[in-house]
Amino acid sequence: MDVKDFYYDLPEELIAQDPLEKRSNSRLMVLDKKSGDVTHRHFYDIKDYLRPGDCLVINNTRVIPARLIGEREETGGKVELLLLKRKSDDVWETLVKPGKKARIGSRLTFGNGLLKAEVIDIVEEGNRLVRFEYQGIFEEILDQLGQMPLPPYITHQLQDKNRYQTVYAKYDGSAAAPTAGLHFTKELLQEIKDMGVSIAEVTLHVGLGTFRPVKVENVLDHHMHSEFFQISQEAADMINETKRQGHRVIAVGTTSTRTLESAADENGFLREKSGWTEIFIYPGYQFKVIDGLITNFHLPESTLVMLVSALAGRDHIMEAYRQAVEQKYRFFSFGDAMLIADVNENQ
């Protein structure tokens, strides 16, 4: 399977730089995963495609302000540090720029010494393990000094940190937002619940590996980064009951999808579970849990385009993306949304 099979041409001006004023006003492309039929709506119309008894699965992770700007203690040279994964209380795996100067033993300082760090090891792909030193509570200091780790394709400054969080974010740990969920308002979620749709919460702390480009020609040679997930017994019971009743499980985002598909048994049922997942979903994969997916428009040749192609078929996805470009949809994190489901059965 060639990575070029998942390429599409995207004009740069279609990459959304800012969130819309109202979350649910984004556009919604509805793709029937069987026929490939496409309908153009707005996200607040999502209710028209949900049925009583369906279960929406949302990822309640919270993005931490993981981007720190500081300087090297020895020279005063500027340094940028991105928190990737907490290894122990004060030790984090990080991405440091410029990396060449962040040797083992290098000392970094942030916020005029409010937070200090020492590079203690160099690990996979040149990431640095750093040990932080501070007085007080780390999370409070990070909230004071850190910036939201927006993807590199977003060049605008984010005015409101909360716009890179879902309205249901609870548990700190992500280096990037589960962006499909950014379209929901609390009011819209309540309306969906009032329709008789259940909402199950799972947690997957999103790492930057989600956006890591596929650098190999053969898709099967790509290795995914591991990410931590957690499913409560309550969420497992809700999803299992939905399946037993013959209703649909619709994941909000590729992160919820990967969580469910990682944790399910061979019959597609779940139990309380936590752990690390490196699941890589690409065409040919047989989904065990989800029936539909709410997602954003993803980067060309990315693992996320491969995941949605596994659900709807590569040809249907590539044609849908062609139409999205033609219709000038907004792409990526702050962009528009897509629902992939058996839509025609809904009418």
Distance CA 276, CA 280 (A): 13
Q: What is the pLDDT of residue 345?
A: 62
Mean predicted confidence (pLDDT) in 291-312: 96
Query: Does residue 175 or residue 291 have the better pLDDT?
Result: 291
Question: How high is the mean pLDDT of the chain?
Answer: 94
Strands 27-32 and 337-341, bridge-based pairing: parallel
Q: What is the pLDDT of residue 347?
A: 46
**Cα dihedral 30→36→37→43 (10° resolution):** 0
Q: In which band, very low, low, confident or very high, does the pLDDT at 74 lie, cut at 50, 70 and 90? A: confident
Please state, for a pLDDT cut of 70, what percent of the chain lies above it. 98
Distance CA 56, CA 58 (A): 6
Q: What is the pLDDT of residue 225?
A: 82
Condensed to tens digits (0 to 9), the pLDDT of residues 112-139 reads 999 999 999 999 888 999 999 999 999 9
Distance CA 174, CA 157 (A): 19
Distance CA 107, CA 128 (A): 12
Q: What is the pLDDT of residue 333?
A: 94
Distance CA 83, CA 185 (A): 28
Q: What is the pLDDT of residue 122?
A: 93
Angle in degrees, CA 329, 252, 250, rounded to 5: 115
Bridge partners (DSSP) of residue 346 are none
Query: How many CA atoms within 13 Å lie on the side-chain side of 321?
Result: 26
Q: What is the pLDDT of residue 216?
A: 87
Distance CA 203, CA 12 (A): 32
Q: Is the pLDDT of residue 236 over 50?
A: yes
Query: Does residue 218 or residue 99 have the better pLDDT?
Result: 218
Phi-psi region of 113 (alpha: psi -120 to 50; beta: other; left: phi over 0): left
Mean predicted confidence (pLDDT) in 41-58: 98
pTM, two decimals, is 0.91
Q: In which band, very low, low, confident or very high, does the pLDDT at 3 lie, cut at 50, 70 and 90? A: very high
Strands 198-204 and 55-59, bridge-based pairing: parallel
Q: What is the pLDDT of residue 86?
A: 87
Q: Is the pLDDT of residue 346 over 70?
A: no
Structure tokens at 201: 């919460």
Q: Is the dihedral of CA 227, 231, 235, 237 positive or negative?
A: positive
Condensed to tens digits (0 to 9), the pLDDT of residues 188-211 reads 999 999 999 999 999 999 987 666
Decide: residue 235, CB within 10 A, 0-12 exposed, 13-18 middle, 19+ buried.
Answer: buried
Q: What is the pLDDT of residue 59?
A: 98
